Amino acid sequence: MGNNFNENERPKIGLVLSGGGAKGFAHVGVLKVIDELGIPIDYIAGTSMGSIIGGFYAIGYSATDIEKIILNQNWEELLSDHVSRKFVPIYEKTDFERYILSFPIKPKGIELPSGIVGGQNVINLFESLTIDYHNETDFSKLPIPFLCIATDLETGEAVVLDEGYLPEAMRASMAIPTLFEPVEIDGKLLADGGMINNFPVKEVLKMGADIVIGVDVQSGAKSKKELKSLLDIVNQTVSLMALANFKENVKYCDIYIKPDINNYSVGSFEEADSLIQKGEEIAKQFIPALKELKEKYELVAPIKKTYLPPSDTSSFYLKNLEVVGLHQVSHSLLEGKLNLDMDSKISLSELKNGINRIYGSRYFNHVDFQLKGEEEKTLLLRVKERTTKRFNVGLHYDSDNNAAVLLNTTFRNKLRSGSRLSFDLKLSENPRFKTTYTIDNGIKPGLNLEAEFNDSEVSAFDDNGKKVATYDFNYIKADFNIHSIIRESYSFGIGGKMEYYNINSDEVLSEGIIDREEDYFFSYYAFLNIDSHDKAYYPKKGMCLYGEYKLVTNNGASLDGMERPASVAYMKFNKAISVNPNFTIYPQFYGRVVWGKNIPGFYQSYTGGMDKSDYFDIQIPFVGLNRFQFSSTNAFVFRSDFQYELFKNNYLILKANAGKLVEDVDSSLSEGKWIKGIGLTYSYNSLIGPIEFSLTHSDEKEGISNYVNLGFWF
């Protein structure tokens, strides 16, 4: 028994919930039994996962509601800083999934992050689920008084969080060192409270509890054979640090409940339903003790106001916007990404989408929100700007281009807010350098400047697909365009570019093969770009469309031998059609048309190869052909991929395509040549990018070819 109490009054019941990562889901099973028995809970103290479950229970969620919340989460996305690709600006989408490592650059050099996960999605979930309690800063005034425990990383002392912003307190209490970034509150850098006090029984007694029910989901110390993962080692370290404090706290529990969950780990988030069941099973064994407690003190569960989770359609009247943390990024850029009207009603869905657009802009490491006020709300945004200088690394190998390393440095807010300066250096047998400067103004005209150098190797083939010559292809481009962006996925604009190429072969393998050609051209173009795919690789919904019309000159006004420029029209289209969660049909179309006289060979349409890069807009991919195998004036390719996810991140893809090639600019489409090809790909979508092995065949190449691709394309 904890405190002495007047026997004429009913004793106050305190509930203590320990930390334990995913094993903390067992707390919910125990709470379900407590709810069913009608045991009143007067105070709650929790650490780490116990602070999350306890915090939700304290504001009025029933155990059943908390169970639904847990089972409805995509834990892989929630426990990452992933943001849906639809919220990433279209000019960033190509970079969004091509690096395996990314580091901020500080004055002293490249800096490692303070945690693997920043916690963006976690804090946004907490904020959405506690939205009606954003104004309550005194946790003792919640429907059930509540506190949670964090650790001050500077002093190594336990910190009791019983006031402030509830979602932030819960987030700080669960910040497992090295896995989650710590949280700064009132000048203190806070991390997981489990390092010092993972079972805060004494704290709930100080709140006023007379009787303590403690639920412990911690693991005992593991043997060296059981320490198999980073999570195991981190959890062992945290547990050992708090062991002495834990043993002391257990003595003060009146009812001590410890679920049998040794076969689970702190990372068993996908086994939430099983863990909840385990908690319920152990709690049922304590029903006699709980009933005895209830009958002895004539405990009657108070009629408490049940707090229902807000839905995406829940609306709020938004009066003002306040932003904390802006330094280099302009207020107007943030407001444009938020895209919410003040003095109007907004839905929770609109608010969450606005937060995601801000975070997806990649100008911020962290964006969280608080709705202050009663009827008329003030939206407070707390942001942490992303380091404006980053160093990124990509790795790739494929059968056509061999191995390559991509080194990238990206600077933001150079010359003006909302700008992005990027340098790419591709190290391989075919090196490449590219620099890009982009200004994003949303729907208002923005600017894009590019300069690029490519040193590539291309081959020529005979009618049977046999290589007859190899060329060194040097390509230099300077590009300028003005564009507008709509809803992050749509862009259109106009521009101009200068292109220089030098094709040189030291070894002529067949008669008629040119051994050297070089020239430069000035082009003007208009484009439309749409990309709404949910994923860059193996999408299950969304579409991509790129269309471009280009005028080609060699003096800015006309082409040699013509009074006007030559014209090039290019379009690629693909759409993901999800038949069921595992099966997706992915129809595609590629078309390129050239017209005019004296068309340079450089602007012909080159068909063939699995290459997904956009180094050269003269290439049209074709399954079953060598890269650049066919040269023609006009080319049209119809393709469909039939993608089946065998199990998580493992795909079997049947690829079938047919194309029409028109050799001469004056020839009609009916005079063209039909080609056909097919391929079968097995792929694993790994952390370093796709790992693919393909077998392909076409009617224009003898035998079956194989193709290997490893890593993100760049």
Sign of CA dihedral 130, 135, 136, 138: positive
CB proximity list for 162: less than 8 A, separation 6 or greater: 138, 139, 140, 146, 147
For residue range 380-422, what is the model confidence (pLDDT) as tens digits?
Answer: 999 999 888 899 999 999 998 889 999 999 998 888 888 999 9
For residue range 202-245, what is the model confidence (pLDDT) as tens digits?
Answer: 999 999 999 999 999 987 655 556 555 655 665 666 666 666 67
Nearest to 309 by CA among 67, 581, 123, 117: 67
- Quick check: 33 and 287 in contact, CB under 8 A? yes
For residue range 679-692, what is the model confidence (pLDDT) as tens digits?
Answer: 999 999 998 899 99
| pLDDT of 242 | 60
Active-site annotation holder among 42, 65, 95, 192? 192
Q: Residue 245: enclosing H or E segment and its boundaries?
A: helix 243-250
* Predicted model pTM: 0.85
pLDDT band at 435 (very low <50, low <70, confident <90, very high): very high
CB proximity list for 237: less than 8 A, separation 6 or greater: none
Sign of CA dihedral 605, 610, 612, 613: negative
192 is catalytic: yes
- Report the percentage of the chain scoring pLDDT > 70: 91
For residue range 275-301, what is the model confidence (pLDDT) as tens digits?
Answer: 999 999 999 999 999 999 999 888 887
| pLDDT of 597 | 75
What is the distance, to the nearest Å, from the Cα of residue 387 to the centroid of all Cα atoms in its chain?
18
- The single-letter code of the amino acid at 230 is L
Q: What is the distance between the alpha carbons of residues 461 and 470, in angstroms, rounded to a whole number?
A: 9
- Quick check: 11 and 40 in contact, CB under 8 A? no
- Quick check: 115 and 178 in contact, CB under 8 A? yes
In this prediction, residues 356-374 reach a mean pLDDT of: 93
48 is catalytic: yes
pLDDT band at 111 (very low <50, low <70, confident <90, very high): low
Active-site annotation holder among 48, 459, 491, 605? 48
More confident residue, 575 or 508: 575
For residue range 507-535, what is the model confidence (pLDDT) as tens digits?
Answer: 544 444 445 688 899 999 999 999 999 99
- The single-letter code of the amino acid at 115 is G
| pLDDT of 636 | 95
Q: Which residues pair with 141 in a beta bridge?
A: none
| pLDDT of 405 | 96
Q: Which of 52-56, 65-69, 109-113, 644-648 has the lowest mean pLDDT?
A: 109-113
